[in-house]
Structure 1
Amino acid sequence: MIILNVVFVSLVSSGFTSYFPESNGLLDFAYQFGVLPSVWGLYGLLAGLLLLPFTLIPHAKWPLMVLIAFASGVLAVVLVIDGFIYEIYNYHINWFFVEAFFADEGGEFFDVSLKTYLLFSFAAVLVTVFELFLLWWVGFRLSKRDHYKWVGVAAGFVLFANVLFVNVVHSWAYAQNYMPITSISGHVPFYFPIHSRSIANSELLSSLASDQDEQESHIYYPRSPMVCLGPEEKKNVVMVVLESWRGDMMTSEISPNTYALAQDGLWFDDHHSNGTVTTTGIFSLMYGLVPTYLDLVVANNGAGGPVLINQFKQQDYRFGVFASGDIERIKIADTSFSPVKEVVEHGQGEDTIEKDRDVLNRMKNFVSESDEPFFGWMFFNSTHYLYYYPEEFEKFKPTSKPSLIDFKQGKNPEPYLNRYKNSIYFVDSLIQDLVDHLKKEGRWEDTILIITSDHAEEFADTQATRFGHGSNFTRYQTEVPLVIHWPGKEPQKFDYRTHSVDVSATLLTDYMNCENPATDFSNGESLFDTHARDVQVVSSYYNYAFVTDEGAFVQNPVGLPKAKDNDDKDAQGMRLKPELMIKTLDQMRWFKDAPKSKETPTE
């Protein structure tokens, strides 16, 4: 019964193959042929394992088959509806979408006609009739014939082999940035393929793959050709990113040098990352896109790279990218710096402290050797768990090296927080060293220096065992410093909420003088635009949320929503307004839809 329903659901969902790229090689064809049976086959195998013990119960055959028929029938109907939704919105249906539909009482955004209801009802009737036929066929025909006894077992092994093949191929394609395969993932509902770099160099799979040079991208970024006049006066741009640096740690005691820069520069005092982990935080910073686009960008081989990097490249800037952590492994080099990947360098040394110092020295040498305008990017890692610093920077005491066991036991966070503060104090000294070098080289007055972080870090702020990042969407994990030294602009402190997607949008509009509306290349806007940012999409590794001033509306991987207040407590009475629901959906699909004339996203 499970095997037949896997085949049935695969056929029902076959319409999604129309979005697949053309298969030019044997590997492409085999993957496309097997991917849908693999997705539903995996769910079928899991269902079989869960239900297997119940087969030992007398007279359980029919109840189990009815349960399988019901679950498969519901899934088939959902897939029919999802096919319509995806064609219109380029977005798969989930529980958040369902909630938005029922909250839209006036039909302002989802005005479904009677004809649509009748069509979906007819599909449900057909599915019900077919499931009843399967129950009859399996229960009274196939199960009565001895020569069909091993068909189910054999088919199960075939399904398992196909699931294994599809996931191994996807892992290889992901490691190789092989678009003809990775670009398929987003088109298949409820598909969560595995990622691995261990088979990246498989010669067999490489020999079966097609040439991907001519593959079409499936993300419209930018939505229109960029028209940028270029800067009125070229300046150097240096972006310094500290790992896990939260906003309330940017003080005169903890980071005195950056704090001093904030007094003489532009200080955005309510700035938030769109990611709660490094990958999504840096993605939103560089691309100016909400991080739910990350998988799509990775699947499309970087989508040509960030508009920001490409515009600096068109202006003949020299590039220097220096990272203490391994940004190759987490796909940052393949996405955020894909147009200039050849210049990416990693800090060298025996430990994180030495690597951070090496990153600083590489940047200083880069500055000294640059005769033409340059774009520099630095990533310091000492502020990451376990929080590193030389002994002479142990300013805050008592300290203790943290462990996951200590976190689990909910121990007093003060010693770990002090260690974290000391690591910031150390990296802050490296920033001052860079500033001093820029001044020594006569570059300070013609350099825009941006200092920020990928995400924040929690120390038992919401509950006794909550440490680190990536676990909630409160300010303790999203609020990060943003300080900018921008020659020619008067020092100012900005108290309204801004986000990491605004940084690249600001450089493109206010420095590069791009004439395109920001909606052509970003989900953000200029940092200097004071109007309210009433909702933002923020993402971790495995889920995302719609964050407002009231709290976060968290979506798990299949879209089940849960309202959380600003202390990450359940807030059952909190509701996201329908217009904000639509705005978030619009943010997440805007760069998936083919551009139309005179269009603007939902305001």
Structure 2
Amino acid sequence: MMKDRTGRLQFSFFLYNSLFMSICLSICSGRFVSVVDTESWSWFNFVYFYAVAFSLYFFITFLVQLLLTGIFNIFKLRKTVIVLSLLLDAVILILFLADTFVFNQFRLHINLAMLEMTFLGGGQIVSFSPKMLIEIFGLSAACVAAAVLCVFLAVKLNKSKRFAVTTFVFSLLLLIITNGIHGFAFATHKQNYVEVSEMLPLNKPLTFSKLLIKTGILTKEEVYSTELPGNGKNKKMNYPLHPLVCKKNGEDFNILFLFVDSLRADMLDKEYMPNTYEISKEGIVFKDHISGGINTRHGIFTLFTGLPGSYWFKALSTKTPSILVQALEQRGYSIGAFTGAGLTMPEFNQTIFAGVKDLRLSSKGNNVIERDLDAIRDFEKWAEEKKIKGRFLVLSS
């Protein structure tokens, strides 16, 4: 099977192996559904979920096999292809099944940090009881048996090339359709479809909200709305856990957040930022700050919500705003945001500032400097108006 003249058969073998593997992984994916409130799901929601799982893991398995087998072919180790596929299938199934248990417990997927703590922590961070070890061994054995079955069936069906090509085309169409459904559901705030991307590991579906706006299929108001349609209004985050109690003590000051993306702390000195450095001498400089993330999305989100960045997608799908912004609005603060990059990517308008009226979404200009100047001009006009009307909170970037 693995000789040079059977290159086509190798290709069909990979397709069949990926087919059976995706079926196994789709069945395991049912464990993710068990931790989600599916009362509002229709039969089509379930069909969509398993269609996403099947098409996604078909191509992931197929590409991983093709890549590693290609490396083995370079070193003329073609006879190891079946053994390699078997090992890959077993490892993928074991990790995937383990991920379902992790997700059930912590609502997040396995990551490198978690694997390091488990395997390199010497049992001091993550430990397993004898009963758990027996269960792990049993489930791992079941995964190995499933991998053997997948490879065995792939070898048996290897000569049927026509059905293999049909399988590939069907999976590709399914992948395109499910991504199309997600993109439209994301733009129209259909939670039952959007939350699937949070449940399945390695799932990064397409979004094309701006394309829908440009083509006139949807309006800006529809795409950037913070209202959830239908039963989605009942699917709010449990945030905050308790009502925020604010006591009025003294004067309400104007609040200004000024964000400079990717600015290193050691740049705030006389040489590189002399003007900002002089301003900093009149205030308090915090040098022991712990950020909520190494990117704009998570850093800003954590600052305004007090939540880890892993809650971002849940906040986005439920249109949950910052409790700080809500509390300030209740105190009569006007909320303004003036950014050169805009608030729709990342979607701060539908998370931190969800529900804020007349929110400024973007700046005009052909380049960064023009957009920054436009933001500054709008801020100056807005701030001058608010001097008459009262206190305000502003975000500037």
Q: Normalising to structure 1: TM-score of the pair?
A: 0.54
The alpha-carbon distance between structure 1 residues 313 and 134, as it changes in their structure 2 partners (threshold 3 A), is: same
Report the alpha carbon displacement of residue 281 of structure 1 after superposing the two structures with TM: 3.2
Amino acid corresponding to residue 9 of structure 1 in structure 2: L
Amino acid corresponding to residue 138 of structure 2 in structure 1: F
- Pick the aligned partner of 2:329 from 313, 320, 325: 313
Q: Give 3-state SS (helix, strand or coil) of 1:321's partner.
A: strand
- 2:315 match: 297
- 1:538 match: none
Q: Give 3-state SS (helix, strand or coil) of 1:327's partner.
A: coil
Amino acid corresponding to residue 307 of structure 1 in structure 2: I
Q: Residues of 2 paired with 1:332 and 1:46: CA distance?
A: 35
- 1:32 match: 49
The alpha-carbon distance between structure 1 residues 338 and 214, as it changes in their structure 2 partners (threshold 3 A), is: closer
- Pick the aligned partner of 2:304 from 273, 286, 310: 286
Report the alpha carbon displacement of residue 305 of structure 1 after superposing the two structures with TM: 0.9
Report the alpha carbon displacement of residue 235 of structure 1 after superposing the two structures with TM: 2.0
- 1:247 match: 265
- Pick the aligned partner of 2:163 from 151, 154, 178: 151
- 2:235 match: 216
Amino acid corresponding to residue 88 of structure 1 in structure 2: Q
Q: Residues of 1 paired with 2:293 and 2:123: CA distance?
A: 33
Amino acid corresponding to residue 33 of structure 1 in structure 2: Y
When the two chains are superposed, the root-mean-square deviation of aligned CA atoms in Å is 3.5
Q: Residues of 2 paired with 1:53 and 1:368: CA distance?
A: 65
The alpha-carbon distance between structure 1 residues 45 and 20, as it changes in their structure 2 partners (threshold 3 A), is: farther
Amino acid corresponding to residue 321 of structure 1 in structure 2: A
Q: Residues of 2 paired with 1:56 and 1:317: CA distance?
A: 66
Q: Residues of 2 paired with 1:128 and 1:88: CA distance?
A: 24
Q: Residues of 2 paired with 1:344 and 1:42: CA distance?
A: 41
- 1:379 match: 396
Report the alpha carbon displacement of residue 126 of structure 1 after superposing the two structures with TM: 2.3
- 2:360 match: 344
Alignment of 1:443-454 (within 5 A): none
Answer whether contact 1:325 1:346 (CA < 8 A) is retained. yes
Alignment of 1:485-500 (within 5 A): none
- 1:473 match: none
The alpha-carbon distance between structure 1 residues 253 and 133, as it changes in their structure 2 partners (threshold 3 A), is: closer
Q: Residues of 2 paired with 1:105 and 1:34: CA distance?
A: 40
Q: What per-residue deviation string (whole Å, max 9, x for no partner) do you get for residues 472-517 of structure 1?
A: xxxxxxxxxxxxxxxxxxxxxxxxxxxxxxxxxxxxxxxxxxxxxx
Report the alpha carbon displacement of residue 73 of structure 1 after superposing the two structures with TM: 2.0
Q: Residues of 1 paired with 2:150 and 2:361: CA distance?
A: 59
- 1:125 match: 141
- Pick the aligned partner of 2:175 from 146, 163, 178: 163
Q: What per-residue deviation string (whole Å, max 9, x for no partner) do you get for residues 517-563 of structure 1?
A: xxxxxxxxxxxxxxxxxxxxxxxxxxxxxxxxxxxxxxxxxxxxxxx
Q: Give 3-state SS (helix, strand or coil) of 1:245's partner.
A: coil
Q: Residues of 2 paired with 1:76 and 1:349: CA distance?
A: 50
Amino acid corresponding to residue 41 of structure 1 in structure 2: F
Q: Residues of 2 paired with 1:191 and 1:363: CA distance?
A: 39
- 2:61 match: 44
Answer whether contact 2:191 2:232 (CA < 8 A) is retained. no
- Pick the aligned partner of 2:385 from 347, 369, 386: 369
Q: Residues of 1 paired with 2:195 and 2:36: CA distance?
A: 8
Q: Give 3-state SS (helix, strand or coil) of 1:377's partner.
A: strand
Amino acid corresponding to residue 32 of structure 2 in structure 1: F
The alpha-carbon distance between structure 1 residues 252 and 94, as it changes in their structure 2 partners (threshold 3 A), is: closer
The alpha-carbon distance between structure 1 residues 82 and 348, as it changes in their structure 2 partners (threshold 3 A), is: closer
Answer whether contact 1:173 1:182 (CA < 8 A) is retained. yes
- 2:251 match: 233
Q: Residues of 2 paired with 1:346 and 1:136: CA distance?
A: 56
The alpha-carbon distance between structure 1 residues 378 and 53, as it changes in their structure 2 partners (threshold 3 A), is: closer
Q: Residues of 1 paired with 2:32 and 2:72: CA distance?
A: 35
- 1:426 match: none
Larger RCO, structures 1/2 (Cα 8 Å, 6+ apart): 1
Answer whether contact 2:182 2:193 (CA < 8 A) is retained. yes
Answer whether contact 2:259 2:395 (CA < 8 A) is retained. yes
- Pick the aligned partner of 1:360 from 365, 369, 376: 376
Answer whether contact 1:180 1:215 (CA < 8 A) is retained. no
Q: Give 3-state SS (helix, strand or coil) of 1:343's partner.
A: coil
Q: What per-residue deviation string (whole Å, max 9, x for no partner) do you get for residues 258-288 of structure 1?
A: 3333223222245464444433333233233
Report the alpha carbon displacement of residue 306 of structure 1 after superposing the two structures with TM: 1.0
Aligned residues: 368
Report the alpha carbon displacement of residue 320 of structure 1 after superposing the two structures with TM: 2.0
Q: What per-residue deviation string (whole Å, max 9, x for no partner) do you get for residues 202-242 of structure 1?
A: 859x9xx973533514x543233322224543222122223
Q: What per-residue deviation string (whole Å, max 9, x for no partner) do you get for residues 115-156 of structure 1?
A: 11111211222233333344444435x457xxx542222111
Answer whether contact 2:255 2:392 (CA < 8 A) is retained. yes
Q: Residues of 1 paired with 2:284 and 2:389: CA distance?
A: 25
Q: Residues of 2 paired with 1:291 and 1:193: CA distance?
A: 19
Answer whether contact 2:186 2:207 (CA < 8 A) is retained. yes
Q: What per-residue deviation string (whole Å, max 9, x for no partner) do you get for residues 363-422 of structure 1?
A: 333233234443332424xxxxxxxxxxxxxxxxxxxxxxxxxxxxxxxxxxxxxxxxxx
Amino acid corresponding to residue 201 of structure 2 in structure 1: P
Report the alpha carbon displacement of residue 175 of structure 1 after superposing the two structures with TM: 4.1
Structure 1: 5+ residue stretches without partners:
381-603
- 2:84 match: 67
Q: Give 3-state SS (helix, strand or coil) of 1:267's partner.
A: coil
Q: Residues of 1 paired with 2:274 and 2:154: CA distance?
A: 74
Answer whether contact 2:182 2:205 (CA < 8 A) is retained. yes
Answer whether contact 2:184 2:209 (CA < 8 A) is retained. yes
The alpha-carbon distance between structure 1 residues 74 and 243, as it changes in their structure 2 partners (threshold 3 A), is: closer
Report the alpha carbon displacement of residue 292 of structure 1 after superposing the two structures with TM: 3.6
Q: Residues of 2 paired with 1:33 and 1:136: CA distance?
A: 24
Answer whether contact 2:301 2:312 (CA < 8 A) is retained. yes
Shifted more, 160-169 versus 350-359: the winner is: 350-359
- 1:10 match: 26
- Pick the aligned partner of 1:114 from 126, 130, 140: 130
Q: Give 3-state SS (helix, strand or coil) of 2:259's partner.
A: strand
The alpha-carbon distance between structure 1 residues 4 and 213, as it changes in their structure 2 partners (threshold 3 A), is: closer
Task: Specify which structure has the higher proportion of helix.
Answer: 2
Report the alpha carbon displacement of residue 7 of structure 1 after superposing the two structures with TM: 0.8
Answer whether contact 2:102 2:108 (CA < 8 A) is retained. yes
